[in-house]
Amino acid sequence: MINTTKERQKLPNFFVVGAAKSGTTSLYEYMKMHPQIYMAPIKETHHFSTDIDNSKFRPNYARSLNKDLSKFLETDMQEGIFHAFVKERDQYDKLFKNVKDEKAIGEITNSYLYSQEAARNIFTRFPDAKVIMMLRNPIDRAFSHYLMDLRIGYETNDFMTALKKDMARDPKGWGISNLYVEIGMYAEQVKRFIEIFPERQRRIYLFDDFKKDAGAVVKDMFTFLGVDPNVDIDYSQKFNPSFIPKNKLIGKLNTQKKIKDWLKGVLPKSVKSKFKKTFYTDKDLPRITPAERKFLADIFRNDVMKLGKVLNRDLSKWVDV
């Protein structure tokens, strides 16, 4: 007898929900190396962040995320995409069409932690899913975010100027403003997931521990996900490190997204790598000043204390200045 029942497609059973600039790109790459894990070929899909309006994104960010995915989804998707705003359910599901016998199937999207609706949306569709968070000192997170914005041309001011301009911006929102402060207000963000997902389905890690011993943290994640924690992975590899343009001309080019997109499309990887080494540097990066750190510590202190109570962990060193 011929079995005409279509095999049910395998879909995600875990989500890494953030926070932004807290090592999630490295996590994505480590997880992709594990033979028992399937990761979505788009690192950040933003699919469940339904309260984020992608029609309001600033132009450069809109060009990066509001992609036509139709052709990509018809390929084998081996050449992945860093991020896209995947709104349609059928497109989202196609990201997992190549799942075979992997035990853990997942994706990483940093806006899920910030979004007020993502936790509920994920639970509604995947109530048995596991959730992972990585939280970084919000002061260091904000400054790392600023360095990224310098690199890609979203920012040209010094940190304090950029910070105060972003705080005063109106309207604000994901993809509209930088949210240097707002993304780091973790207490309520974490609480949304804790109130919805039972303890057995969630893990919360600190970037401090990840930076100290990435292998130990990731192996614990693997165990949590039910895959072999002892696979051979080089945890010394760094992904998405901080670097900035060597001069203002390159910084200005960064703001011209159409030119950047054209160069990415025509230059082979070997040339792109040489271009990056020639025109960008990770030497003498700007450093956060004591005054800037104190300014942010005063802003974040109450929220950090609340988070410490939620996690039952002393986080006071984050804001001790």
Q: What is the mean pLDDT of residues 264-275?
A: 53
Distance in angstroms (rounded) separating the CA atoms of residues 250 and 268: 19
Q: Is the model's pTM score more than 0.85?
A: yes
Q: What is the pLDDT of residues 135-193, one digit of tens each?
A: 999 999 999 999 999 888 888 899 999 999 999 999 999 999 999 999 999 999 999 99
Q: What is the pLDDT of residues 16-71, one digit of tens each?
A: 999 999 999 999 999 999 999 999 999 999 999 999 999 999 998 999 999 999 99
Distance in angstroms (rounded) separating the CA atoms of residues 184 and 179: 8
Place of tokens 């007020």: 116
Instruction: Give the per-residue pLDDT at 283.
Output: 63
Q: 119-155 burial by CB neighbour count: b if 16+ within 10 A, else e?
A: bbbbbeebeebbbbbbbbbbbbbbbbbbbbbbbbbbb
Distance in angstroms (rounded) separating the CA atoms of residues 315 and 286: 25
Confidence class for position 285, pLDDT limits 50, 70, 90: confident
Structure tokens at 156: 């040209």
Kindly tell me if the per-residue pLDDT of 5 is higher than 50. no
Q: What is the pLDDT of residues 201-246, one digit of tens each?
A: 999 999 999 999 999 999 999 999 999 999 999 998 877 554 445 4
**Measured CA distances, 122 to 81, 125, 234 (Å):** 22, 5, 31
Instruction: Give the per-residue pLDDT at 214.
Output: 96
Instruction: Give the per-residue pLDDT at 244.
Output: 47
Q: What is the mean pLDDT of residues 310-317?
A: 96
Burial of 187 (0-12, 13-18, 19+ CB in 10 A): middle
Domains of the chain in sequence order: 14-242+285-319 (3.40.50.300)
Distance in angstroms (rounded) separating the CA atoms of residues 260 and 149: 15
Instruction: Give the per-residue pLDDT at 31.
Output: 97
Instruction: Give the per-residue pLDDT at 153.
Output: 81
* Residue bearing the bigger pLDDT, 280 or 66: 66
